[in-house]
Amino acid sequence: MRTRLGESYGTQLVPQNGMIPAHLLGNMWAQEWGNVYPLVAPKGAQGSGYDLTELIRAKKTDAKEMTRYGERFFTSLGFDSLPATFWTRSLFTKPADRDVVCHASAWNIDNVDDVRIKMCIEPTAEDFITIHHELGHNFYQRAYNKQPPLFQSGANDGFHEAIGDAIALSITPEYLKQIGLLDRVPGPAADTALLLRQAMDKVAFLPFGLLIDQWRWKVFSGEVKPADYNRAWWELRNRYQGVSAPLARSEGDFDPGAKYHVPGNTPYTRYFLARVLQFQFYKGLCREAGYTGPLHRCSFAGSKAAGQKLNAMLEMGQSRPWPEALQAMTGERRMDAGAMLEYFAPLKKWLDEQNRGKTVGWEQAAPVARSR
Ligand SMILES: [Zn+2]
């Protein structure tokens, strides 16, 4: 990232042994970097060979049909179709006559099967993935509806966020061909591009996912005082993400407040956990589906065996400690990032070659003077 951004913007702005200015990463919080993929795409390679956004637009797929694709993934695993009320009561597109919160969300209204999504779906690859994420919540909610009310929740905070993402990892070129969106599956040469694009979102997010609660917990414990809120924020951003503030900051700024979950008081570790868990779920379900090839090319779509394992975990809700829920699906009791490493292993090899002779890691900025 740093090398390529340095080539685009100059090494004055992007020092090659220092931090990357946060505003160059294509996302308001520099939490996921996939939006600047074109700047760092492998040179001379054929690229990923297709553009999912273009495929969706070419088919004139509307918001409901995009959602149907997500539903069909779950029914292919053996889950029941969504109830008719889902289709009449959800919000799929941005209304023309009023303001709504467009941040995508999934809802469980009656703790039985009145599940809904609220989303302003656009015909893009990003929204196609997001729908699978939101439906993961809805199918989880419906699966644990036989549990007593106190157990009608995810096995832990990370589980709920990881289900739909584990499903979305199965949206491989092979799968897109199966469902009629893609004509020709690109060869293995396209894997690097696909994995790089994926890593810019999934891997780059990890330090960000970790640091939000680091900051919140330090604030709650009093370790960080109000006079140091912004300084402490940027120290964590520097240390974990290796990104620097675009401009000089002071305690007259309150940058953490720009992240919804900070003023909204929503714990954030769930998203960090989900990033790790989704790969572990995905690998477990691929194994159950009998898949034996390179992990990143697996799609467990259509596997009733995988569906049964998934459902065994979902229907437990929060009734058992989470290691038991994890075991019901994957056979493992411990959270393990090994599946994530395995998924990205071909990319890691490529990156090691690209980075040979270059500085890996970054020097910290001089600490900002502590305010009194
Ligand atoms: Zn979610």
C-alpha closest to that of 138 among 151, 125, 154: 154
Give the active site residue among 22, 50, 132, 133: 133
Respond yes or no: is residue 104 known to be catalytic. yes
Rg (CA), the chain: 21
Catalytic residue check, 134: yes
Catalytic annotation, pick one of 134, 144, 190, 229: 134
Q: Which residues surround ligand 1, an ion (CB under 5 A)?
A: 161
Please check whether residue 161 is in contact with residue 271, taking contact to mean a CB–CB distance below 8 angstroms: yes
> Which pLDDT band holds residue 45 (cuts at 50, 70, 90)?
low
46 pLDDT higher than 90: no
- pLDDT, tens digit, for every residue of 129-145? 999 999 999 999 999 99
The confidence score (pLDDT) of residue 103 equals: 87
Interval between CA 141 and ligand 1 midpoint (Å): 12
Section 333-342 average pLDDT:
97
Q: Mean pLDDT, to the nearest integer, of 354-359?
A: 92
Residue 349 C-alpha to ligand 1 middle, in angstroms? 31
pLDDT in tens, 258-302: 998 999 999 999 999 999 999 999 999 999 999 999 999 999 999
Over 60: is that where the pLDDT of 367 sits? no
Encode pLDDT of 17-30 as tens digits: 999 999 999 999 99
Segments in the chain forming alpha helices (H): 2-9, 37-40, 52-58, 63-76, 84-89, 125-143, 157-168, 173-178, 191-202, 205-221, 229-236, 269-288, 304-314, 322-330, 338-354
Domain ranges of the chain: 20-49+144-372
Asked about 296 being catalytic, the answer comes back as: no
The DSSP call for residue 81 is P
Beta strands 115-118; 243-244: pairing state: unpaired
The predicted-structure confidence for 166-194, as pLDDT tens digits, reads as follows 999 999 999 999 999 999 999 888 999 99
Active-site annotation holds for 261: yes
Is residue 133 annotated as part of the catalytic site, yes or no? Answer: yes
| Residue 372 confidence class, pLDDT cut points 50, 70, 90 | very low
Question: How many angstroms separate the alpha carbon of residue 235 from the centre of ligand 1?
Answer: 28
Round the average pLDDT of the chain to a whole number and report it.
94
Distance 110 CA to ligand 1 centre (A): 19
Report the alpha-carbon distance of residue 107 to residue 90 in Å, rounded: 9
Distance in Å, CA 85 to ligand 1 centroid: 21
- The 8 Å CB, 24+ separation contacts for 250-258 are 251/227, 251/371, 254/229, 254/230, 255/230, 256/215, 256/229, 256/230, 258/28, 258/29
Chain position carrying tokens 């401009």: 247
CA–centroid distance, residue 184 to ligand 1 (Å): 32
The CA–CA distances, whole Å, from 14 to 6, 30, 242, 327 equal 5, 15, 12, 45
The whole-model pTM stands at: 0.93
